Amino acid sequence: MITTHVLDSARGGPAVGLAVALDARRDDDWVRIAAGRTDERGRLSSLTDNVPIAPGCYRLTFDTGAYQRGRGASSFYPEVQITFDVRESGEHVHVPLVVSPFGYSTYRGS
């Protein structure tokens, strides 16, 4: 299972409605396997509900540019991509993101 949680540090709360895409690396290509939007708590926990997650390399892409424009702000980063490895089948990987118009931070969550 792959989940994410996005906080907007400029607003001091969850990043609601932020579009997120999940891609899997297949040989030399990236394949889109899921997409969704964060909920009212800034969480996207149903992203991989119907998608089997095998060990491998994955990438989350957050549409931070559209999110910031929707709030009347500009953004230095039009998108944020986080690439990570899933090492075991059935592993729960939680990838939080903290955003603002001019910066972001991430870490391995639990």
Please state the rounded mean pLDDT for residues 72-93: 94
Report whether 109 contacts 95 (CB < 8 A). yes
Q: Is the pLDDT of residue 14 over 90?
A: yes
Q: What span, in angstroms and rounded, lies between the C-alpha atoms of 88 and 54?
A: 7
- Kindly list the domain boundaries of the chain, sorted by start residue: 2-106
Closest C-alpha to 58, from 18, 2, 11: 2
Q: Is the pLDDT of residue 90 over 90?
A: no
pLDDT in tens, 19-70: 999 999 999 999 999 999 999 999 999 899 988 899 999 999 999 999 999 9
Q: What span, in angstroms and rounded, lies between the C-alpha atoms of 93 and 87?
A: 10
Q: Is the pLDDT of residue 76 over 90?
A: yes
Q: What span, in angstroms and rounded, lies between the C-alpha atoms of 44 and 35?
A: 10
> Looking at domain 2-106, does it have CATH number 2.60.40.180?
yes
Average pLDDT, the chain: 95
Report whether 51 contacts 86 (CB < 8 A). no
